[in-house]
Amino acid sequence: MTALSPDLRLWDPPVTYRIGVAMGVHAHPYTGELLRAIRAAAAQAGCDVVLADTEDTLGEEAAVVRALRADLVDGVLLVPSAGDEAVINGLVRMGVPTVLVDRVAARNDVDQVGTENVHAVASLVRHLTERRHRKIGLISGDESQEVSRERVRGYRLGLEQAGLRFNRELVECGLSTSGGATRATAKLLDGWPSPTALVVADEAMLVGVQYEAHRRGIRIGSELAVVGYGDMDWARRVTPAVTTLVQPVADLGRRAVQLLMSRMADPDRPPESVWLTPKFLHGASCGC
């Protein structure tokens, strides 16, 4: 288990609260930015931060949350691992001030802050239909995550808004991994109807889509339109640059700390779910 790492220096003023942050430190390309935003917001509020790496697995998540509790933190910011919600249930049951960050859950008994998914993904679909695409495929993410299910709903909403029928044959699960997305892309391109455009539900899977298109000699942008959800530096440097929805990662971190501070100050207030709007970043991968 990764050691807990307090960030408080000896010359800092007395802390108001000690905040435990449980997350997969290497799970996502934006983890570093999220952690920096949390630390900055906590420091501004006079709080100490104790980081614990969940390695993005349920077993390690349970272990590090127990360690944080034993370390007497006042509240927990948790980026949940995919799977069951036993750790979240335990924190809620024990009355531990908790905020779920980024990967929100379909529940109303805990504070959460995440990025809006349904209408955001619908806007990606509409962008493709405005380019006269009618066979639009979806590479969906890990089905155990509420975020992935929301993005599927957004895909279906976008089709409905454009007057297109949902076709199950145009949807494949990429398991939120690059390898899974490679296999899902191959299956869609080999299937019928073969899509002329793809919506990719997260940044990790965009790598797999790019790989499979390159392997087949398919030119993204001119022969296959691709749009995605996530913010990756490489996506702006490749040719063509990828059209994506960019998560407001720094705002997620700041808002999470604010929610946790409010919860610790007022334990009896109703739980709050905050949805931040992603930014549309236009590239040429959509064929524009």
Same domain membership, residue 185 and residue 96:
no
Same domain membership, residue 241 and residue 119:
yes
Residue 21 lies in a domain: yes
Same domain membership, residue 65 and residue 125:
no
pLDDT at 4: 52
User: Residue 166 maps to which CATH number?
Assistant: 3.40.50.2300
What is the tens place of the pLDDT at every residue in 71-111?
Answer: 999 999 999 998 889 999 999 999 999 999 998 888 999 99
Same domain membership, residue 239 and residue 128:
yes
Same domain membership, residue 122 and residue 100:
no
Please state the rounded mean pLDDT for residues 11-21.
Answer: 74
The rounded distance, in Å, linking the Cα atoms of 262 and 274 is: 13
CA angle 135, 138, 144 (to 5 degrees): 155
pLDDT at 15: 59
Residue 104 lies in a domain: yes
Please state the rounded mean pLDDT for residues 125-148.
Answer: 95
Residue 4 lies in a domain: no
Confidence of residue 11 (pLDDT cuts 50, 70, 90): very low
Same domain membership, residue 134 and residue 51:
no
Residue 9 lies in a domain: no
The pLDDT of residue 8 is above 50:
no
The pLDDT of residue 114 is above 70:
yes
Same domain membership, residue 119 and residue 101:
no
Confidence of residue 29 (pLDDT cuts 50, 70, 90): confident
Same domain membership, residue 198 and residue 108:
no
pLDDT at 238: 84
Ordered DSSP codes for the chain = -PPPEE---TTSPPPS-EEEEEE-TTSSTTHHHHHHHHHHHHHHTT-EEEEEE-TT-HHHHHHHHHHHHHTT-SEEEE-PPSS--HHHHHHHHTT--EEEESS--S-SSSEEEEE--HHHHHHHHHHHHTTT---EEEEE--TTSHHHHHHHHHHHHHHHHTT----GGGEEE-TTSHHHHHHHHHHHHHSSSPPSEEEESSHHHHHHHHHHHHHTT--BTTTBEEEEES--HHHHHSSSPPEEEEP-HHHHHHHHHHHHHHHHH-TTSPP-EEEEPPEEE--STT--
Closest CA to 39 of 8, 74, 4: 8
Confidence of residue 232 (pLDDT cuts 50, 70, 90): confident
User: What share of the chain has pLDDT > 70, as a percent?
Assistant: 95
The pLDDT of residue 1 is above 50:
no
Same domain membership, residue 136 and residue 102:
no
Same domain membership, residue 150 and residue 62:
no
The rounded distance, in Å, linking the Cα atoms of 200 and 208 is: 10
Q: At 12, which amino acid appears? A: D
pLDDT at 10: 45
Same domain membership, residue 229 and residue 253:
no
What is the tens place of the pLDDT at every residue in 32-80?
Answer: 999 999 999 999 999 999 999 999 999 999 999 999 999 999 999 999 9
Residue 288 lies in a domain: no
Q: Are 187 and 171 in contact, with CB atoms under 8 Å apart? A: no
Same domain membership, residue 173 and residue 104:
no
pLDDT at 2: 47
- 267 HSE (CA, 13 A, CB side): 7
> Domain range spanning residue 71?
16-113+246-275
Please count the structural domains in the chain. 2
